[in-house]
Structure 1
């Protein structure tokens, strides 16, 4: 390990071990957030937040110190060791301080994450420590992110073969259940909500299995099939997501859906797909997989959803929407939201006009529940059964929710964010009494490509109408938000815009506001320390 196992070297080794493990834990967290995908990581580094990451403590300061050591005229090994000891002591104390402030980020402890962290640690140990070259030890201080990135690429090649084997097994398993009805759901937004509501409504008559949480990839669906008992299942509801053309087609190849729901198509993940036409192509992979005797349901108010319907093999194609000009098969009308967080609406469909009421937040829920009602009617669920189920619907685990945090009311929409969802959250914010201060805290919306500025300007205008205060927590979209806000400056409700890029400062701000009767909308992901603090105290 070292030339001599003396106490001095052992202390250095211990500090090095802590430093290396904590670094690799943090770097693995970043890769895990991006699902170990190069395209998503590349997109992250194209943002201001990603670019500023290269200038942080992990690289900029370390590069300076490493070059200082390399070129400093230190000839005595004792002096070099003292320098290394001092450096690792400071490094470990820095990590400990972040741990105490709850700003240290770490991945979910999956097998892949643990394997990556251990592999990176052993890789550095073998090259740096066993080489007995102190210069190499210093070199790895600036090379750790590249080490784990290299190992991600290697591991992806290995796991690809394992993934294909798992998918093959899942495809064979589900193919043996000839009577199983599979319903696929996709769209730029709303697919998780539709999945939850559809499953609850169909449960009035059938035995239902649905993909859990945000499981919507080929490997996620395949693994779920392999660990699930399909013997007692009538209908399998599958959420399908994608970042590239071909990914939904692969899921359809596994489950062979008979019914397909396309909720909406917008420029979500545009930076990954490259164009709205590519997004449309990817989402339509589900509808093209529906057999001739199946059912396709999509959004008449969204041109990208409806314009290619005539090209499908499926004979029964139905649409829903609010605009009568688009001639939807199921017309949604008279949407009303109530103070006790309920939504009411009517639909004109088959039997005539039907009225529904659901104990859910937001007028947008009518568009999430209606396609589920249409599928239920197709599968023979009675109107009475549907009405009963709708009146008792529960939101999904990560759906938008409202709860108290001290005296403050939190509107939690932190699972994800897109332009339509952001506007729906702002609508809920405005449903609270206008006498209460309204605050929006957001990082903005990601992966919108060339539409980024346009959508953030639009949301900036909406915030000007809806909120008293805006807190922006990353630097990427400050200018874009401000462009929309400036167009309406001093004309509407918004009085103050702040930028708080520090997770610690943001936590302190929210703690302070929790002592006041304010309404706080949390839009898109929040720093972990903030989320843990709020969840702990609700």
Structure 2
């Protein structure tokens, strides 16, 4: 067994790499498939072990063979513990959101770490790797965290089934609900907010930001529906996300939608689905779950959407932005339908489809064109979803809620139409695009030619592939990156940290 001092040093050395991995995994919703895809795209070795820590470990093991006043392994432990302490003191250490699941997983992992350090089992292992274990454990934190996840998985599954069943029973007890299910590779959040805004005079509940998974929606139902009488007429607007086939089907089984909306089907998360065919089948689950007296609305300008809308038992309504003469001005998008003028403070011609879908849903629920048009004039776009604002004299397009190849292309097209002389692109690149990821980034780089005078990547992911298509220099963001200047246009696409944006502007 190790002394209490050495044990403390090992545990302190483990803190930073453990918290970093736990934070990353939580961002991937504790899903092993999403974590694996992230590791694949970002690089297994660097994501798992880092760069500096493995160097310290190797140097410590090598120096332990030299006769020094202080063991090289102990020196290594002090260095690794010092790195953890420095990360914490300087507040640079990323930490998970302390939900119950995160707390339980982290506490279980801590217990496993202590067990690994002190148990007789390790004493036997150390016969083969005598003194090296002490410095190896800090860079092997994926082991205790994965063990914790595996140990708690049966409990997690049982709790999920219990919550889903409880939410399903509660939803079924409300007989006067009209449920609108919305899915799509892009545009579902904006469409959800548009529908909710138009129907605001009715009794409407809509899922909040980032709540579109089975568990997220189930917990939201358990929180919100008890506030309303079971006989009350309510409209529920449910955003439905998915990473695998069957997940939208489960959401539909829970919520029982009578109106389904598919905004667009692209390649978002294709690496997790496995193929475009499986992705389309997953989106179709919403339409096949609708009753015969239900209604399916879809983007007729998107071939995959048209494909999944075929051979349905319910009524279908296609919408096409190509049939509408629209324009995007400084005040937002405008178009006319059968003499009715629509003016929406929302940018991006691609958003015309989302507005058209929202209009058709509102008409299904009895609203008139004039009333719909009036409501849309006061719409505010969702935070960080193709939202345009002025900041420190700079025009900023904030599309950091999420990103896909289609939304990236839309942002480039919109930027090209703007009058600013200097246009700067700030992005972390795209993730979960599978084997086509490099090709997609190269194509986006080509489209950015002649539009952006500067391109800044916040990380290395996708940067080199983008640079193959972009004729200019692709910068790597650092704290020394030159900020944009007054009068410039800054286009932020993907999960860009607010801290980085603040520094850039």
TM, length-normalised to structure 2: 0.90
Task: Give yes or no for contact 1:267–1:451 (8 Å, CA) kept in 2.
Answer: no
Corresponding residue number in structure 1 for 2:296: 296
1:448 paired to 2:442: no
Q: How much has 1:136 moved relative to structure 2?
A: 4.1
1:524 paired to 2:494: yes
Corresponding residue number in structure 1 for 2:447: 462
Corresponding residue number in structure 1 for 2:321: 322
Corresponding residue number in structure 2 for 1:389: 375
For residues 147 and 62 of structure 1, the distance between their equivalents in structure 2, rounded to whole angstroms, comes to 21
User: Which of 409, 415, 428 in structure 2 is aligned with 1:429?
Assistant: 415
Task: Give yes or no for contact 1:468–1:496 (8 Å, CA) kept in 2.
Answer: no
For residues 172 and 214 of structure 2, the distance between their equivalents in structure 1, rounded to whole angstroms, comes to 16
1:41 paired to 2:43: no
Task: Give yes or no for contact 1:300–1:319 (8 Å, CA) kept in 2.
Answer: yes
Pairing 1:88-167 to 2, within 5 Å after superposition: 88-99=77-88, 103-129=92-118, 136-167=133-164
Structure 1: runs of 5+ lacking an equivalent: 324-330, 490-494
Distance 1:387 1:517, change over 3 A: closer
Q: How much has 1:412 moved relative to structure 2?
A: 1.8
Corresponding residue number in structure 1 for 2:258: 258
CA RMSD of aligned residues (A): 2.7
Distance 1:398 1:152, change over 3 A: farther
> SS of the counterpart of 2:15?
helix
Task: Give yes or no for contact 2:20–2:94 (8 Å, CA) kept in 1.
Answer: yes
> SS of the counterpart of 2:218?
helix
Task: Give yes or no for contact 1:2–1:130 (8 Å, CA) kept in 2.
Answer: no
Corresponding residue number in structure 1 for 2:128: none
Task: Give yes or no for contact 2:248–2:283 (8 Å, CA) kept in 1.
Answer: yes
> SS of the counterpart of 1:47?
helix
> SS of the counterpart of 1:298?
strand
Q: How much has 1:361 moved relative to structure 2?
A: 2.0
For residues 523 and 155 of structure 1, the distance between their equivalents in structure 2, rounded to whole angstroms, comes to 36
For residues 102 and 459 of structure 1, the distance between their equivalents in structure 2, rounded to whole angstroms, comes to 35
For residues 108 and 369 of structure 1, the distance between their equivalents in structure 2, rounded to whole angstroms, comes to 35
Corresponding residue number in structure 2 for 1:68: 62
User: Which of 372, 377, 393 in structure 1 is aligned with 2:358?
Assistant: 372
Corresponding residue number in structure 2 for 1:343: 333
Task: Render the CA deviation track for 1:361-382: whole Å, top value 9, x for unaligned.
Answer: 2222211111111011011012
Counting matched residue pairs gives: 493
Structure 2: runs of 5+ lacking an equivalent: 124-130
Task: Give yes or no for contact 2:180–2:257 (8 Å, CA) kept in 1.
Answer: yes
For residues 153 and 260 of structure 1, the distance between their equivalents in structure 2, rounded to whole angstroms, comes to 36
Task: Give yes or no for contact 1:120–1:148 (8 Å, CA) kept in 2.
Answer: yes
For residues 96 and 517 of structure 1, the distance between their equivalents in structure 2, rounded to whole angstroms, comes to 42
For residues 54 and 498 of structure 1, the distance between their equivalents in structure 2, rounded to whole angstroms, comes to 26
Q: How much has 1:297 moved relative to structure 2?
A: 0.1
> SS of the counterpart of 1:124?
helix
Q: How much has 1:177 moved relative to structure 2?
A: 0.6
TM, length-normalised to structure 1: 0.84
Q: How much has 1:454 moved relative to structure 2?
A: 3.2
